[in-house]
Structure 1
Amino acid sequence: MATTPITELTDRAREVFRMVVDGYLKNGAPVGSRTISKLPGMNLSPASIRNVMQDLEELGLLSHPHTSAGRIPTESGLRLFVDGMMQAAEPSAEERAAIEGRMTRAAGPIEEALAAATSALSGLSACAGIVLVPKREPVLKQFGFVPLSPGQALAVLVGSDGSVENRVVDLPPGVGPSALTEVGNYVSARLSGLTLSEAQARLSGEIKDGRAALDAVSQQLIARGLAVWSEDGDSRPVLIVRGQANLIDGHAAEDLERVRQLLDELETKQEIARLLDRARAGQGMKIFIGSENKLFALSGSSVIAAPYRGGDGKVVGVVGVIGPTRLNYARVVPMVDFTAKALSRLLA
């Protein structure tokens, strides 16, 4: 169902709708007409409020849980509220200091600062914090093969940052231990200090110009090993998730299946990374509410994400939160935006 434009609602309907949404986001429970009638500035009787609620329900903006006399906003209603009615509350000085302080205290690789920012955002928002890390090609320090069987070997890549990763590769026919040693010596001497793409380009150039002191089998082996690493890095998202425990709050007992489903979804990092890529491609804040994205259709969760930029001003990653659809959008949206800008300043 298409969301009703806010301009098509009467002043009375907008006010009742806003109070229902505010009450639901604050308490996570259906809001009844009697509760609204007692709020300051509301001069309508419970019966009149019920009539307005019924109209809003027919428009698809509210729903009526069978176990309660109150109403809750639908996903369409939340989208209308976020896009047309929400009054954002900027992060406090304490919140800004907490986010920036965690980032600047992190030592070591940039991933530690990103993880620290995600943890701070998770704690302040009471959601799970997520950050999509910029993809960085490892710089080769050593690259060799350890024979496993006549037809397979373990490709071992040591990065300049000390990282070590292994992959099993199939060997071309006729490759023996001496050829594996020759390949390792060649890489250490000729390709060390290069990224994977740079190493592939240099190898191709030396083979083309006849400068590669390798036979055809060894050339094929190096090319195959580098290709495995390159393809693996392109398909593997680097996603940091912090604060999953925040999702198990006081309302979790009422809907354990939803929480279990969301925690399962958080384990599917590759799918979440693809979702966040939409925020990176869009160059701005993205808010996904419930089934608007099929990944969270079962758990009924919301994602708020904003891109952050590197020193050249280009978008390099995305930071955000995942939580229930009833999260405090007015508070969390500006908080995510501030974190993205703080990361951009850190990387500048």
Structure 2
Amino acid sequence: MAAAPPIRDLTDRARDVFRLVVDSYLANGAPVGSKTLAQASGLNLSPASIRAVMGELEERGLLASPHTSAGRLPTDLGLRLFVDGMMQAMEPTADERAQIAGRADRSGGPVEDAIAATTAALSGLSACAGLVMVPKRELRLRSIGFVPLSRDQALAVLVSEDGSVENRVLQLPPGIGGSALVEAGNYMSAVLSGLTLVEARARVEREIAAGHAAIDGAARALVEQGLAVWSEDGARRPVLIVRGQGRLLDAGAAADLDRVRDLLDDLEGKQDVARLLDSARAGDATRIFIGAENKLFALSGSSVIAKPFRGLDGEVVGVVGVIGPTRLNYARVVPIVDFTAATLARLMG
């Protein structure tokens, strides 16, 4: 896509008309005609004068007419010019900040739950789908216990160092009794505490190979099975959380179902979306991808606003943002995404 012309290259009259077209588009998503602008704008320009200015803006690639005599709307290039050179950001209200900060309260639960809840709040406030990409988390074990459920099943309870608790139902190897469950739990809590799942599996393999595993064969089989289940789950942990896809089906979606369908299909390809968000990790600035600027959303005509957030050590640990139609309220949504990123940074710290 060609670069947008500098805003200073536009005359004051062209700038005023362009802003009115963009404002109208962001408000209702429809093209606007010269007669409508002349009646409502207060520019003291005739429809013919406004039409001439709109024609100049169209020649510059900033406006387009989707249909003959249908009025004009901003192109992706025009929206880029507006966002970079004309937009005046609106700070989040106290209520909006409270909604986001309130969802980031972990209350002793897994950090992923707080991140997902915060992203859901962002989705609700922006009327877009909320996105957050976080690294695969390495659980460090504090304790593990096994609770018998039946003759061939037990509940494995893992408590990590951050206080999160996870449960898994395991099929018991033949001949496992209650004493083996206790022995396996005691061994894992004593020997494997403080280790990640990968480190714990390696430790158990070394102990068994060297004959130092002070547990009998039944308990050893249970330890190996428990670690295998959790490690497999960890490898499948999603790095991308999406909340609020239903908000993309707004009142205006009925008129453009193909676009919405394309967008929902795009969101199903999580690895592609994750790669897009990953490209926003560099630096501290909020990144705005508008429509065809990114190949992934060229068909659906969507925009993504993304902001990285950092952990206690200052390193980028994730990216949060929203995706919605190109006519989303950038001036309002960009600061909300910024505040959400700051909130998640405090959470991760």
User: Matched residues in 2 for 1:290 and 1:165: separation?
Assistant: 43
Q: Deviations over 1:194-236 (max 9, x none)?
A: 203433664687799997899xxxxxxx99x989976985675
Q: Deviations over 1:158-208 (max 9, x none)?
A: 7434435799xxxxxxxx999xx9xx8987775454203433664687799
Match of 1:2 in 2: 2
User: Matched residues in 1 for 2:73 and 2:91: separation?
Assistant: 26
**What's the offset of the Cα at 1:345?**
2.3
User: Matched residues in 1 for 2:133 and 2:9: separation?
Assistant: 39
Any stretches of 5+ residues in structure 1 without a counterpart? 144-155, 168-175, 215-221
Question: What SS does the corresponding residue of 2:88 show, helix, strand or coil?
Answer: coil
Match of 1:49 in 2: 50
Q: Is the 8 A contact 1:247 1:259 kept in 2?
A: yes
Q: Is the 8 A contact 1:139 1:159 kept in 2?
A: no
User: Matched residues in 2 for 1:97 and 1:275: separation?
Assistant: 29
Match of 1:171 in 2: none
In the comparison of the two structures, how many residue pairs are matched? Answer: 327
Match of 2:252 in 1: 251
Q: Does 1:81 find its partner at 2:73?
A: no
Q: Deviations over 1:31-78 (max 9, x none)?
A: 111222234441221111111111111211111011652111111111
Q: Does 1:314 find its partner at 2:320?
A: no
**1:174-323 paired onto structure 2 within 5 Å:** 190-191=191-192, 193-199=194-200, 202=203, 233=234, 237-323=238-324
Q: Deviations over 1:114-136 (max 9, x none)?
A: 12211211111111112223421
RMSD of the alignment, in Å? Answer: 3.8
**What's the offset of the Cα at 1:101?**
2.3
- Greater CA drift, 226-235 or 99-108: 226-235
**What's the offset of the Cα at 1:268?**
2.4
Give the partner amino acid of 1:163. E
Q: Deviations over 1:87-119 (max 9, x none)?
A: 111111221122222323866222222122112
User: Matched residues in 2 for 1:281 and 1:226: separation?
Assistant: 35
**What's the offset of the Cα at 1:312?**
2.3
Call closer, same or farther: CA 1:206–1:122 in 2, change over 3 Å. Answer: same
Any stretches of 5+ residues in structure 2 without a counterpart? 146-154, 216-222
User: Matched residues in 1 for 2:72 and 2:277: separation?
Assistant: 32
Q: Is the 8 A contact 1:310 1:347 kept in 2?
A: yes
Call closer, same or farther: CA 1:210–1:14 in 2, change over 3 Å. Answer: farther
Match of 1:34 in 2: 35
Give the partner amino acid of 1:341. A
Q: Is the 8 A contact 1:283 1:315 kept in 2?
A: no
**What's the offset of the Cα at 1:299?**
0.9
Match of 1:163 in 2: 166
User: Matched residues in 1 for 2:3 and 2:262: separation?
Assistant: 27
Call closer, same or farther: CA 1:261–1:81 in 2, change over 3 Å. Answer: same
User: Matched residues in 2 for 1:94 and 1:315: separation?
Assistant: 28
Output the TM-score relative to the length of structure 1.
0.78
Call closer, same or farther: CA 1:188–1:102 in 2, change over 3 Å. Answer: closer
User: Matched residues in 2 for 1:233 and 1:280: separation?
Assistant: 23
Match of 2:348 in 1: 347
Call closer, same or farther: CA 1:2–1:165 in 2, change over 3 Å. Answer: farther
User: Matched residues in 2 for 1:332 and 1:45: separation?
Assistant: 34
**What's the offset of the Cα at 1:269?**
2.2
Call closer, same or farther: CA 1:132–1:59 in 2, change over 3 Å. Answer: same
User: Matched residues in 2 for 1:37 and 1:194: separation?
Assistant: 70
Q: Does 1:25 find its partner at 2:26?
A: yes
Question: What SS does the corresponding residue of 1:241 show, helix, strand or coil?
Answer: strand
Give the partner amino acid of 1:5. P
Q: Is the 8 A contact 1:259 1:299 kept in 2?
A: yes
Give the partner amino acid of 2:6. I
**Percent identity, aligned pairs only?**
66
**What's the offset of the Cα at 1:319?**
1.4
Match of 2:64 in 1: 63
Output the TM-score relative to the length of structure 2.
0.77
Q: Is the 8 A contact 2:110 2:165 kept in 1?
A: no
Q: Is the 8 A contact 1:237 1:273 kept in 2?
A: no
Give the partner amino acid of 2:264. L
Call closer, same or farther: CA 1:208–1:6 in 2, change over 3 Å. Answer: farther
Q: Is the 8 A contact 1:236 1:270 kept in 2?
A: no
